[in-house]
Structure 1
Amino acid sequence: MADLPECPSMSDGLLPAELYAWMVMLASTNAAEQELHSVVKERLGVSHDEFLILCLLAGQADTGLRMTRIAELLGRPKTRLTYQIACLQHAGLITRKSVCGDKRGVEVALTDKARQQLKEGSEVLAATVKQAIARFMGPEQRAAMCALMPEVASGVASDAADDAVEASVAE
């Protein structure tokens, strides 16, 4: 793997810094996604796509999400989502219920079993993401990513990264 500059703005290539930064971010997230495939299957017994659904639901505390909203957030057709939801329900990881007042609407939520599995596997999954991103990004890039996703670089966003993001937003 080629050495990457520590910061996208340091690129002296043909691409503007923003495009180069975007490409580095895509490369690192794609690497993390590829590594997560096997770890998710091993730890949770679900596909990566099903894992993404579980992650969306995990962010909902004790409530669920409508299937249409999940399809929108993941950018996938509802027909494909229906199959994945059925697999997760069969595995005992989600519940499905009709939305009150809308007989066409279906809301899904995590079961206690899913919450427990996510809790038990989250540290290994987070470490997998962190390692994949670290291979593609230098310290300054990780600090910038950390400002967007606080747990990626070290568990807590650095004040310097926060200040840099706030300064760039203010400009």
Structure 2
Amino acid sequence: MTTRWLTPEEQRAWRAYIAASRLLEDAIDRQLQQVGGMPHLFYSVLAGLSDAPGRRLRMTDLAEALKITRSRLTYVVNRLERDGLVRRENCAADRRASLAVLTDEGMAVLERTAPGHVETVRSLLFDRLTEEQVGQLEEICTGIAQGLQGEGAGAGADDVPWRRRSSCS
């Protein structure tokens, strides 16, 4: 099989993507640590739960929404639970499942942290793009995500993070 090397244009685009995504994630993480005392992933869990009906989601659904492994989500929820920002409940419909629930304290932390987070995202990303580029960014990222989730050519549907089992499972 012949290796399909990246063209010079693809190599530049790839390197630009890597640099931008790492710098953006680092800046967002630093801002959230300074203002909310939490990393971006913890904030994402709180935000995901705040958008859910009754501020609660099955752990597997939350892992899927965040595109992370179930074991990583369990770690994050344990930490947030210890801080009183999230609690777990048994799922009445499925005894094997558990729900992550955003507490009132967690909602208050989110409400205090969200304005600065949104301003950071806006100033670091969207203020640098034209309206047309925002649409293109959405289209590009949606296409990549669909392909990686098995909705197009590429990875199989069972090879997504929230369905992966750790070696200890």
TM-score, L = length of structure 2: 0.63
Compared with structure 1, are the counterparts of its residues 127 and 146 closer, same or farther at alpha carbon in structure 2 (3 Å cutoff)? Answer: farther
**Unpaired segments ≥5 residues, structure 1:** 1-12, 148-171
Distance 1:69-1:26 versus aligned 2 partners, 3 A rule: farther
- Which of 72, 77, 94 aligns to 2:69? It is 77
> Aligned residue for 2:39?
47
Unaligned runs of 5+ in 2: 1-7, 140-169
Farther-moved stretch of structure 1 (53-62 vs 105-114): 53-62
CA RMSD, Structure 1 to Structure 2 (Å): 3.1
Q: Distance in 2 between matches of 1:55 and 1:93?
A: 11
CA separation in 2, counterparts of 1:101 and 1:139? Answer: 44
Residue 104 of structure 1: CA displacement? 1.3
TM-score by length of 1: 0.63
Match of 2:50 in 1: 58
Q: Residues 82 and 26 (structure 1 numbering): CA distance in 2 closer, same or farther, change over 3 Å?
A: same
- Cα displacement (A) at 1:132: 0.8
More relative contact order, 1 or 2 (CA 8 Å, 6+ apart): 1
Distance, in Å, in 2 between the alignment partners of 1:29 and 1:123 is 22
SS at match of 2:52: coil
Post-superposition Cα deviations, 1:28-65, rounded to whole Å, max 9, x if no partner, equal: 66543221101111222222221111111111152300
2:106 to 114, 118, 122: 114
8 Å contact kept, 2:85–2:105: yes
Identical positions, percent: 25
Cα displacement (A) at 1:136: 4.6
Secondary structure of 1:79's aligned partner? helix
Distance 1:28 1:122 in 2: 22
- Contact (CA 8 Å) 1:40, 1:46: kept in 2 or not? yes
In 1, Cα distance between equivalents of 2:51 and 2:20 = 23
1:91 corresponds in structure 2 to 83
Q: Is 1:124 the equivalent of 2:105? A: no
User: Alpha-carbon deviations, 1:48-84, whole Å to 9, x = none?
Assistant: 2211111111111523000011112222221121111
Q: Supply the distance in 2 between the matched residues of 1:50 and 1:37 (Cα, whole angstroms).
A: 10
